Amino acid sequence: MTVELLDIRKSFGGVHALRGVSFRAEAGEVTALVGENGAGKSTLLKILSGALTADAGDVRLEGRPVSLHTPTVAQRAGIAIIHQELSLLPDLSIAENMYLTRLPMRGPLVDWGRLRADSRRLLARQELRLDPSTRVARLSLARQQLVEIARAIAQDARILAMDEPTAPLADEEVQTLFRLIRQLRGRGVTLIFVSHRLDEVFEIADRITVLRDGQVVRTLARSEASPELVVQMMVGRTIQEQFPKVAQVPGDLVLEVRNLYTKELLRGVSLTVRRGEIVGLAGLVGAGRTELARAIFGADRIERGTLLLDGKPYRPRHPGDAVRLGIGYVPEDRKRSGLLLNFRLFSNHTLASLKKFARGGRLVQRLEVRAFQRWMQELSIHARSAHQQAASLSGGNQQKVVLSKWLELSPRLLILDEPTRGVDVGAKVELYEIMNRLAASGTAILMISSDLPEVLGVSDRLVVMHEGRVTGEFERAQATKERVMAAAIA
């Protein structure tokens, strides 16, 4: 089913999110929607899903105007959106999730036999080897996403829009997703694919629409596009270097981890980070990288092993211990664990260093605001004011606020967990530059990243993990994509 959006306009308060966007996606094609954060992609998807109504403009399906004023109407029209936050019910089975709104009934009772048969048939048709009676909570995030797509198909979706579906996935999981997407394309489903990862866009998309500042810059066929051209259209300027790397001469050991075990996952991890060094931690999702970060930060219990911080024994029982000793941690999921979304920017900024802003037991707001404003400038955080709510910022700017919270403490060790996930190209480069500056001033940085080109481009040294163990360690000069991948799946 062809979907067309014609001259769509939408503003929030005084902010124009979409200024006359026209966009078209054909049946049996994958149309990629790319643009920096704040370009209007999410707003466009929300209008398509009926979650928001446009101020002006038309939506047409097969040339016929439709009014998508509620999510239910959009769903009935055959439109399904896969959001970044999945919407499955974790305590129900795959089959129940797929047919929740129209369970097969026998009289007043659910016909479990038919439900199982129907869902098994549908999963098999999409070449998904999943047992429909499995509880969703037991599936990996990647599998849950596949189930979510299967559910959309079970509900006869003819138009499927996916918002950053590959963000939480490892390379091989992305390939499984792409197999499914190609198969749906072959069956004539209209696919809309939103992503920040351009290599994936070029792998899967037939057509690429670039958005910037609420307007369509251009729609290109894949054959006439190149990554350089797309990036240039996205940011409106040429980005010189994707990974501006300043080589550092590493100093003394800041962190030394020897033979670290945790109850859940880590099986004897050893690793070092030096002053002024950026150590990249690569591996597949579930390799234990986040668990290692949390153990070092005192957020998860350490079972045994030795940690040394600046040569002194270190055993955090609580993140407070780590913070006191000058360790900062930017977690993977900034909305859930990094930011207080309903707090103002300056109070997010001072949360970890609040003691500094008290005079005789009273917090001096003026000092807090001034401290934040300094970092706001230093990190070029784009915000109207220090009093704005954190929820109102775009992803890249939110990430910078989480970072600024730790920089206020001048940490000796900074742990960054997927710091550029969901961050647009321009802001990514800015974050890399900030990391370089911090390293130059002597901060030790441990960066987890599932983005292979990024971790290769940014790190002085690379440590690769697999199933709770370190399976490879490479100096920058020796690290290649092939070697790292080999270690990650070893």
Partner 1 sequence: MAAPRSDTGAEEKVVRGLRGVLGAELARQVWRAAPQYGLLIGFVVLCAILSAASPYFLTTQNLLNVALQAAVVAIMGFGLTFVILTRGIDLSVGSVLALSGAVMATVTAGRGPLIGILIGLLAATLLGTVNGLFVTAAKVAPFIATLAMLAIARGLTYVYTQGAPVGVHATAFTFWGQGTIATVPVPVMVMLVIFILSLSILTQTRFGRYVYAIGSNPEVSRLSGIPINRYVVAVYAISGLLAGVGGLILTGRLASADPNSATGSELDVIAAVVIGGTSLFGGRGGVFGTLVGALIISVVANGLVLLNVNPFWTQAVKGAIILMAVLADSIKRKSWYE
SS3 call for 105: strand
63 contributes a contact to partner 1 by CB under 8 A: no
Q: The tokens of 191 are what?
A: 């696919």
Give the count of residues interacting with partner 1 (CB under 8 A).
51
Q: The tokens of 247 are what?
A: 């080589």
46 contributes a contact to partner 1 by CB under 8 A: yes
CA–CA distance, 124 with 130 (Å, rounded to integer): 8
366 contributes a contact to partner 1 by CB under 8 A: no
Contact pick of 363, 367, 485, 489 for partner 1 (by CB under 8 A):
363
CA–CA distance, 32 with 51 (Å, rounded to integer): 21
Which residues in 129-159 are b (16+ Cβ under 10 Å) and which e? Answer: ebebeeebeebeebbbbbbbbbbbbbbebbb
Q: Which of 111, 133, 149, 439 is nearest to 273 (CA)?
A: 439
SS3 call for 460: coil
CB of 21 to partner 1, least distance (A): 11
Measured from the CB atom, the residue of 132 and 168 that comes closer to partner 1 is 168
DSSP 288: S
Q: Which region, judged by CB under 8 A, interacts with partner 1, from 90-98, 119-127, 358-366, 466-474? A: 358-366
Contact pick of 52, 130, 282, 371 for partner 1 (by CB under 8 A):
52
CB of 299 to partner 1, least distance (A): 6
- Read off the amino acid at residue 341: L
262 contributes a contact to partner 1 by CB under 8 A: no
254 contributes a contact to partner 1 by CB under 8 A: no
Phi/psi at 22 (5° precision)? -115, 135
What x/- string results for residues 435 through 464 when contact with partner 1 is judged by CB under 8 A?
------------------------------
12 contributes a contact to partner 1 by CB under 8 A: yes
Measured from the CB atom, the residue of 316 and 468 that comes closer to partner 1 is 316
Measured from the CB atom, the residue of 78 and 316 that comes closer to partner 1 is 316
CB of 20 to partner 1, least distance (A): 14
Site for partner 1 in 276-335 (CB under 8 A): 297, 299, 318-320, 322-324, 329, 331
CA–CA distance, 147 with 128 (Å, rounded to integer): 9
CA atoms lying within 13 Å on the CB side of residue 272: 12
Cα dihedral across residues 290, 296, 297, 303: positive or negative:
positive
CA–CA distance, 392 with 440 (Å, rounded to integer): 32
Contact pick of 75, 144, 272, 347 for partner 1 (by CB under 8 A):
347
419 contributes a contact to partner 1 by CB under 8 A: no
CB of 342 to partner 1, least distance (A): 5
Alpha-carbon 14 to chain mean position: 28
User: CA separation (Å) from 126 to 120, 137, 338, 424, 479?
Assistant: 10, 21, 37, 32, 37
110 contributes a contact to partner 1 by CB under 8 A: no
14 contributes a contact to partner 1 by CB under 8 A: yes
| Contact present, 190 and 3 (Cβ < 8 Å) | yes
The residues that bridge with 32 in the sheet, in sequence order, are 193, 208
354 contributes a contact to partner 1 by CB under 8 A: yes
- Taken as a whole, the chain contains a residue count of 490
Contact pick of 92, 308, 341, 367 for partner 1 (by CB under 8 A):
341
Site for partner 1 in 202-221 (CB under 8 A): 214
Contact pick of 108, 186, 313, 361 for partner 1 (by CB under 8 A):
361
Q: 10 Å Cβ neighbour count for 339?
A: 22
Contact pick of 89, 221, 391, 440 for partner 1 (by CB under 8 A):
391
Q: The tokens of 86 are what?
A: 């999945």
393 contributes a contact to partner 1 by CB under 8 A: yes
Alpha-carbon 314 to chain mean position: 31
432 contributes a contact to partner 1 by CB under 8 A: no
Contact pick of 195, 262, 394, 399 for partner 1 (by CB under 8 A):
394
What x/- string results for residues 371 through 390 when contact with partner 1 is judged by CB under 8 A?
------------------x-
Q: Which residues in this chain contact partner 1 in the complex, by CB under 8 A?
A: 12-15, 17-18, 37-43, 46, 52-53, 214, 297, 299, 318-320, 322-324, 329, 331, 336-343, 347, 351-352, 354-355, 358, 361-363, 389, 391-395, 405
